[in-house]
Amino acid sequence: MKLALIFGGRSGEHDVSIVSARSVAAALGDGGHEVVPMAIDRRGLWATDDESLRVLKGSGNRADQALSFTGVHRLNPSLLNDSFDVAFPVLHGPFGEDGTIQGLFEMLDLPYVGCGVASSALCMDKVQTKRVLVSHDLSTAPWVTVKDHAWLTDPEALRRQALDLGLPLFVKPSRMGSSVGITKVVDGKTLDAAIATALRHDTTVLIEKGLEAREIEVAVLGNQEIRASVPGEVVPGGDFYTFEDKYVDDTCRLLAPAPLDQVMTERVQEVAVSVFDLLGCQGMARVDIFLEKTTGGLWVNEVNTIPGFTSISMYPRLWKLSGLAYPDLLNELLRLAIERHDNAHLS
């Protein structure tokens, strides 16, 4: 197949996207596919073929040579014409997994890997995701929402609502990933600063009550037939799973599979599949779930529709443990992309 591999992008997860794209390109290339890299810089400009290839062929676990192009241009739809069989977006965060680029693919009638427009947009927005989950009797951590204009108008009322949840609190942008902009608040005096940090990344802030819980992750795959991997567990190096834990300090531990008994394993998988189906996901997603330490209760944390995709990232690792090796996983995602596209044309 001829594939458009799209990476980089305007979000705070720009560097992470490059690292994921390198792994995907290497595996697909070794599998006989023709991979055409298409890099997007931090301004949203698309690189020339030569510049895209230069960045993709870089090395290291971090994309220290973040995209800084000399030959950039604005997107011309002819870049993604019908000469491609499938588009494979490896764009994390806003402008990548929020439905925006998925809408472009739909307009071009181009099959693409991952969730569709509506489910991508929904899962990117933590507040809206929680509202849908709660309306269908799926548990999430207690929360309040802070809008930027409301914070300017009546901060005291919002401050009281947040503190009434009880400390500790987690303050996070509603539409951001990889723990960017998240602060753990253990003292009410630091709440305002935490909200200000989150508002630098989004106009809507989610404030959640902290839970004494284990962080469980499940990789989910499929269109009509949905499969869940064995669960994994994240053991943060500090108070919670920060951006630095994930991509800089390497202080957290990823346990794969998670040390769970069979009954709990099946419960977690059932919740993950239910969430995937309820939110209209297709192709792939990673469902993150809190397992409360004292009660054994399950609380849905969030859904990541384009998870990290290096060969050692949690999503591919969990599928490898479930019997689906990295190259086979990528080929299955391509198959699912074409299947969904073909099914849409039957309706």
* CB proximity list for 346: less than 8 A, separation 6 or greater: none
CA within 13 Å, CB half, 289: 31
pTM: 0.92
Tell me which fold the domain 2-112 belongs to.
Answer: Rossmann fold (3.40.50)
Please report, in tens digits, the pLDDT of each residue of the chain (347 residues total): 999 999 999 887 888 899 999 999 999 999 999 999 999 988 888 888 888 998 898 754 444 444 455 556 666 666 776 689 999 999 998 899 999 999 999 999 999 999 999 999 999 999 999 999 999 999 999 999 999 999 999 999 999 999 999 999 999 999 987 678 999 999 999 999 999 999 999 999 999 999 999 999 999 999 999 999 999 999 987 665 444 445 444 668 999 999 999 999 999 999 999 999 999 999 999 999 999 999 999 999 999 999 999 888 999 999 999 999 999 999 999 999 999 999 998 76
> Quick one: pLDDT at residue 73?
64
> Quick one: pLDDT at residue 67?
47
Active site residues: 13, 178, 247, 286, 288, 302, 304, 308
What are the residue ranges spanned by the domains of the chain?
2-112, 123-139+212-346, 143-209
* 233 contacts 319 by C-beta, under 8 angstroms: no
Tell me which fold the domain 123-139+212-346 belongs to.
Answer: D-amino Acid Aminotransferase; Chain A, domain 1 (3.30.470)
CA–CA gap between residue 311 and residue 24 (Å, rounded): 8
> Quick one: pLDDT at residue 305?
98
Which of 3.90.190.10, 3.30.1490.20, 3.30.1490.100, 2.60.40.1930 is the CATH number of 143-209? 3.30.1490.20
CA–CA gap between residue 24 and residue 38 (Å, rounded): 13
Residue type, 282: Q
CA–CA gap between residue 194 and residue 144 (Å, rounded): 14
